[in-house]
Structure formats: structure tokens, C-alpha cells
Amino acid sequence: MNAIVSVNQLKKSYNQKPVVREISFAVQKGEILCLLGPNGAGKSTTINMLCGILGYDGGEMSYRGENISSCLNRFKRNLGVVPQDLAIYEDLSAEQNVRFFASLYGLKGRELEEKVSKALDFSGLQESRKDRAKTFSGGMKRRLNIACAIAHEPELLIMDEPTVGIDPQSRNHILSSIKKLSQHGMTILYTTHYMEEVEEISTRILIMDSGTIIAEGTKESLKEDIFDERQFIMEIEEDQCLNVDEFYKIEGIKKVEKQAQTLTITTLKNIENLDKIIALVITSKTKIRNLFCRTASLENVFLRLTGKSLRD
Amino acid sequence: MLAVFKNNCNRLWEEKMYLVVSLILMIVAISAAILLTAHIETKGNLALVVPDQQVLSERESALMANPYFNVTVLETTPETSALVQSRYDAVVTINADGNDAITTIKNPAFKTMVETALANPTGFAPDNRPIRQTGTNILGFMMMFLLMQGVLYARFFAEDKEKHLIRRIAMSPLPFGHYLLGHGLFIFLIIAVPSFLVLGVAALMGIDIGFSLPVYAGLIGVLALLATAFALFLNSFFEVADTANMLGSAIIILTSILAGSFYSLSKEATLFDKLLHLLPQKDFINFVNALEKGSLSQSTFAQLVYVFAISAVFLVIAVANTRNDYLYH
């Protein structure tokens, strides 16, 4: 494995109350690792500890196999952080903002100007580069917040809920930007409590709740591992000849529901029985208009793991 | 460090009014100091009441010639209201037997001084006059404004904290000390340079400003250091810029008045006066006063060292406190 950052047994308490409980994970090169969990799960605390602005009570963190404390400057040079709260100078222009934050990473002269321009281009703010940030919309400010973090082209980009409180259009722009950054080889650690964002961009997911990582894997594997069922949804022509009870004779069938022209069949996913189901429908002289397989969503996964909805 | 400094300059440029208002206040303070220095150095006004067309004695004539008093000869005793209105500082009545009586509403020290003058009008000179000279007065008047400017310009540091920008900066490879140094250098220079330039312009216009410009550079530097250290110290404790600004301004106004920035409140070695020496402003102004009068001593140098020491303590606490809040690795 090619881990950029590894976290081992990391823990943190506030006033004796544990908020991060000995979590361990690694961020692999080139991936978009999503840290998914409800508010208060410990995501931002974990990020803040990783970025060095919050102390921790135990555990260790390493960058490319070396303890972060002993290679802190090198780690920080290769790290870009998009904080949850907007951290931009509202009275300065977009260009001045990006230039300042990029210069903190040692960029200067022509290289600085080129990278500032590139970051503004990437964020779709080139045309507004001379405008003060305070004149921007919420979405533009969020994009500027990101531009300030990527101008120095970090190896690892940590994004702490970067789409909170913005319109769908800006959110889509940000999500597609993240995918583009990943295609360019940037490794991304992304925290969110929005399930749909994780579905869209993640290559791997850590699900966190009450300070603990409760599941880890790709979105497909999480759904596979946690659910042993799948559903076939069949749109059929209404036919009185179809006897729902007949389906229970097929191996693996757990539940069959018929509502108007929709037939929902829940079956064990490790048993291949779709051919038998279709054969039964056809034998009943019922026409199938449409058929699709519904798998569990991450929301279902989270609900199954924690017994509560992600937005509770 | 330079990135932080340049960024603060950009931020200030977007809020130029702060700089303009500061400069105006500085000019007003210096002008007031020069004008009030002239006023303070005016002579004492005495009313010499000589009834019944009595001929002035040699002693009374000598008093009239004394350079430290304006003596007005009257035949009748003026109303007490003339003393209240400060038309006269004291009324000296010569009785028929040649004895005199002094009436004043000023303090006993002043009455004693007039008595001394009457006893020896030819050789009288006020002993160790407490009046400040121009340079001391200018720096005394500037001091409060310079200290307040420190708190004003430290708002960029305070805003970094309030708007979480400092967290973002703490995550960057910029050494945290350089970040604070950048703010400190900015505050120091933005206080020191404009005020020095105002004095430079005054000197070029031929106005007596007391000290030479190089001496002013050093003294303003000391004040700017104190202002910078205090502003960073105060802001290191608060997350909200306005809280530090209001509290800092209140502390500076109160302590500057108590320390005698504008006029010395205590001339005696009372416990209160000794306690006032805890205020660095008091020590600074005493040093400046001694410097201008040419009466520097080991104790006045110690007062300057105290100002440096307390500035250093403020800076160390500010740095430690801020690092403690934002850095953990």
C-alpha cells in the first residue's frame, strides 16, 4: 500500500468526554477518501488534529511512514486545507487572497503569479479576480476558499465540509472540481455529512459516529458487506393471473409486494434467482415493461450500522 | 513574515480612513502639546495691593522686575472672583506697617513660593520647576494616541483570530513566530513611521519640537515597541476583535491619564505616586523629562529599562498564549 498519511489509535477528549476514540486509518495516494458522519461524529476534530492545530491525547500520525512531528514542515508544505469555516479576507480581492495563502508555502515571483492564476482559473474565479471577496456570493466564497488551498498544488488536500450552506450549482461545481483534482493526481481527504456527495466523488469511505470509525470501504463494498439482500423492482402490465404466493417457492425470496403495476421482490443477494423470477412472470402471461435492481444506499448502510439516520 | 506584513499593508490600504484619522489625531496631539507647552511656561500673575498711594519699597520694586512674575499694582484689593477666574494667581497686600499678606486659592506650595519671592525678590528663581518642556510635552501627548494606535492596528491580528484565518495560517508551513513577527513589525512601523514623519515635517517648518529628530526616532521607537507589545498581548487573550479594542482603549486612556501623559497628577513621593511607576507610561515620561532637562541618572535609565522589560514580558506572553491556542505538533 502507498499511504500518504496514517493515523493510529488517535484519541481526544474534552472535559473527560471522549470525542475521538482510538481511531486508525490511512489515506492512500490518489484516492478520494470520504470521512462520512453526522455532526458531532468527530470528523473535524480528527482533521484539526491531523493538521496540527489541535492537540491529541494519544495515538500517532505519520506522513509517508515518518512521524508527523518529526517532518512537520515537509508535511505542511505538501498539505492543502480547505477549512469548514470560510477563511478568506473579505476586504481583499480574490487574487490577493490566493496570492497571500500561496506565498505562505514559499511560492514567489513568476511561479507564484502563475499558480495563483491557475488556481483562480480552476475555481472559475478568473473573471472576478480583482473583485473584493465580500462582493461574492456564498458559492463563490466557497470556491475562493478552495482556490486558496490548492494554489500551491499540495500532494494531500484536506477538505472539511467545503459545501456547507451553498446552492446546488456551486456544489456541483465544487464536486466536479474535486474529481478533476483527483484525476490530476491529488489525494483528497473529504469530510461531509452529505451522503449524495460521498456517493458521487468517493473512492473509499470511512463512516464515523460518536468518535469511532464504524465502517470502512468503497461504497460498493460497504453496501455489499452490510446488506445480504437486494430488491428487484418490476414494472408489469396489470394481470390477474399473477399469483404472488408462487414467488415464495423460488429459493432465496424473502418478500414480495405488488402495488398496482409495480412488483417489488426482496431476495437474498447471494442466490442467483433472477432467471426463475422472470420465468414465473412470463409463465403467468404477464408482460414486463421494466426491470431494475435496487441496492442499498449509504443512508441505509448508516441506518443499519448506527440505528439512526445520518441527519438525526 | 514579509507575506504577513505585505498582506496587512493591503488590508490597511482597503481601510485607508484608519490611517488618515490616526495621522490627524497625531497632528492635533503634537499641535496641542506645542501650544500647551507655551501656555504652561507663562509667568505667575500677582496683584500687588499698595493702598493710600504708598511708595513702593525697594523690595517690591525688585519683585516687579522678577522675570517669573507679572506684577500688577493695585490700590484696592481685588475680588476673590479674580482669583477664581485665574486673573491673578495670588494677591499680595502691603499693609501700612510694611508687612505683607498673601492671598491665593492655589496650593500651599505656591503660597510658599510667593513668600520666598517676596523675601528675596532679586535672587528668586523657582526651585526645580515642575513644568515640562516642549519635547516631553509632545511625547506625553503623543503617547496615548500611539498606544491606542497599537490596539487599532492589531485589529488585523484580532480579525485573523475572529475569522479563523489564523487556523488556516497555522496549518501552513510558515513558522508561527514569523507570522506573529509579521504582525508585530507591521504594527511597530505603522505607528512609528507616520508619527516620526509628522514631527519631521514640524521640524522642517521651523517649529521647536524639543528634541532632535534622531532622538525622537529612538523615543518613538520605544513607544511603538510598548504599543506593539501591549496590543499583541491584549489580543492574544480575546477571540473577538472589538472586545480587545474596547478594553485596550479604556486601559490606555485610564493609565495614560494616571501616568501623567498630559499633566503630572502627583509631584510628591506618595504611595500613589510610587504605584503609578508600575505604569510604563509614567517611567517613559520621567525618562524623557530627565533627558530633555539633561538630568539623566541611573534611576531614570532604570525607568527606561523597565519600559523595555515590560514590553518584552508582554511580547513573550502574547507569543506563548497564541502558540498555545493554535499549535500542537
Residue ranges of domains in chain B, CATH in brackets? 2-38+131-326 (no CATH), 43-119 (3.40.1710.10)
Residue A62, pLDDT score: 93
pLDDT in tens, B85-124: 878 888 888 877 777 888 888 877 788 888 888 888 777 7
Nearest chain A Cα distance for residue B171, angstroms: 6
Low-confidence ranges of chain A (pLDDT < 50): none
Q: Is the dihedral of CA B187, B191, B196, B201 positive or negative?
A: positive
Distances (CA, A) of A115 to A96, A101, B283: 13, 11, 51
Residue A195, pLDDT score: 85
Query: How far is the first Cα of chain A from the last one, in angstroms, to the nearest whole number?
Result: 36
Owner of C-alpha cell 500517532: A60
Residue A61, pLDDT score: 93
Size of interface A-B (CB pairs under 8 A): 70
Question: Could you tell me the pTM of the whole model?
Answer: 0.76
Cβ–Cβ contact B169 with A under 8 A: yes
Q: Please report, for chain A, the start and end positions of each structural domain, with discontinuous segments joined by +.
A: 3-224, 228-294
Whether residue A76 and residue B171 make contact (CB cut-off 8 A), yes or no, is: yes
Q: What is the mean pLDDT of residues B306-315?
A: 95
Among B3, B14, B170, beta carbon nearest to A103: B3
Mean pLDDT for all residues in chain B: 85
| Proportion of chain B above pLDDT 70, given as a percent | 91
Whether pLDDT at B265 is above 70: no
Residue B223, pLDDT score: 94
**What is the full DSSP assignment across A98-161?**
HHHHHHTTT--HHHHHHHHHHHHHHTT-GGGTTSBGGGS-HHHHHHHHHHHHHTT--SEEEEES
Residue B205 burial (CB count, 10 A): 8
Whether pLDDT at B76 is above 80: yes
Nearest CA in chain B to A103: B3
The DSSP bridge pattern shows strands A3-14 and A17-28 to be antiparallel
Mean pLDDT for all residues in chain A: 88
Residue B82 phi/psi, 5-degree rounding, is -65, -30
- Residue with the larger pLDDT of the pair B67 and A174: A174
To the nearest 10°, report the CA torsion of A169, A172, A177, A180: -140
Whether pLDDT at B239 is above 80: yes
Beta bridge partners of A188: A32, A157
Residue B312, pLDDT score: 96
| Proportion of chain A above pLDDT 90, given as a percent | 42
Nearest chain A Cα distance for residue B159, angstroms: 9
Nearest chain B Cα distance for residue A106, angstroms: 8
Residue A286, pLDDT score: 84
The DSSP bridge pattern shows strands A156-160 and A79-82 to be parallel
Among A53, A100, A106, beta carbon nearest to B170: A53
Cβ–Cβ contact B87 with A under 8 A: no
Whether residue A100 and residue B14 make contact (CB cut-off 8 A), yes or no, is: no
Whether residue A106 and residue B173 make contact (CB cut-off 8 A), yes or no, is: yes
Cβ–Cβ contact A72 with B under 8 A: yes
Owner of C-alpha cell 402490465: A237
Residue A94, pLDDT score: 94
Quote the CA–CA distance of B76 and B70 in Å, as a whole number.
18
Whether residue B170 and residue A81 make contact (CB cut-off 8 A), yes or no, is: no
Of A113, A191, A201, A190, nearest to A151 by C-alpha is A113
> pLDDT confidence of B266, banded at 50, 70, 90?
low
Nearest chain A Cα distance for residue B236, angstroms: 16
Residue A230, pLDDT score: 82
CATH class of this structure's domain A228-294: alpha beta
Whether residue B3 and residue A100 make contact (CB cut-off 8 A), yes or no, is: yes
Which residues of chain B have a CB within 8 Å of the CB of A104? 3, 169, 172-174
Q: Give the three cell numbers for residue B171.
A: 496549518
Q: What is the mean pLDDT of residues B224-233?
A: 95
Residue B200, pLDDT score: 92
pLDDT in tens, B152-207: 999 999 999 999 899 999 999 998 889 999 999 999 999 999 999 999 998 998 88
Which CATH number is A3-224 given? 3.40.50.300
Residue A20, pLDDT score: 93
The separation between CA A129 and the C-alpha centre of its own chain, rounded to angstroms, equals 29
Nearest chain B Cα distance for residue A48, angstroms: 9
Nearest chain B Cα distance for residue A180, angstroms: 23
Residue B127, pLDDT score: 58
Distances (CA, A) of B27 to A15, B194, B213, B221: 53, 10, 16, 18
Owner of C-alpha cell 483527483: A182
Nearest CA in chain A to B12: A91
Whether pLDDT at B128 is above 60: no
pLDDT in tens, A168-214: 888 888 899 999 999 988 999 999 888 888 888 999 999 998 899 98
> pLDDT confidence of B42, banded at 50, 70, 90?
low
Whether pLDDT at B39 is above 70: no
> pLDDT confidence of B263, banded at 50, 70, 90?
low
Which residues of chain A have a CB within 8 Å of the CB of B167? 48, 53, 83, 87
